[in-house]
Structure 1
Amino acid sequence: MTRWWNRRTLRDRLAILVTGAVAVAVLTVAAVAFTAVFEIQHRQLQAQLTTDAQAIAAQPDQWRAGAGQLPDVDRGPGPPDGHGPPWHRPRDLGTRWQIVGADGAAVSDASSLPITTSVRQVLTGRRTSARETVVLNGERYQMLTIPAQGGGVVQVAISQDPAGGTLVQLSVLLALGSAVVITGAALLGRRLARTGLIPVSRLAEAVEDVAVTMDLTRPVPVHGVDEIARLGRSVNTMLGAIDASRRAQRTLVEDAGHELRTPLTSIRTNVELLLAVERRPELAHRLPPEERAKLLADLEAQVAELATLTTELVELSREETTREEPEPLDFADVVAAAVDRVRIRAPGQAFTTSLSPVPVHGRPGELERMVVNVLDNAAKWSPPGGTVAVHLAAGGTLTVTDHGPGIDEADRPHVFDRFYRATAARGLPGSGLGLAIVAQTAAQHGGTVAVAPNTPQGTVLTIRLPVQH
Structure 2
Amino acid sequence: MRFEGDHKTVKQHFSIRWQLPLSYAGIAFFAVVILGVMLLTLLQNHYKQQERQFLLRHAQHVKNAIGMDWARGLPLDHRLRWLSLLPQTHIELTNPDGEVIANSEAPNMFIISGTIAIDDVVYSPQDVPSINPNPPIQLNIIPFNDLRPERIPGVTIVYDETYGFEIIDSPLEVRFEREYSSQVVSIPVYSPQDQQFLGTITVSGGPAVGRDVLKSVTNGWLMTGGIAVLLAAGIGWVMSNRITTPLTALTYSTQQLAAGNLSIRSTIDRQDELGILAHSFNRMAEQIENNIQTLKRFVADAAHEIHTPITALRTNLELSVENTPSPQNQQALNQVKQLERLTNDLLDLSQIESETNILFEPINLAKLMGELSEIYASRAEQADLEYVLILPSEPVVILGSLSRIQRAFSNLLDNAVKFTPAGGQITVKLSQKGDVIIQDTGIGIPSDDLPNLFERFTRGRNAAQYTGSGLGLAIVKAIVDLHRGHIWVESDSTGTRITISFPHP
Task: Tell whether the structures are fold-level matches, with TM greater than 0.5.
Answer: no
TM-score by length of 1: 0.42
Q: TM-score, normalised by structure 2?
A: 0.39
- Between the two structures, name the one with larger relative contact order (CA 8 Å, sep ≥ 6): 2
Larger relative helix fraction: 1
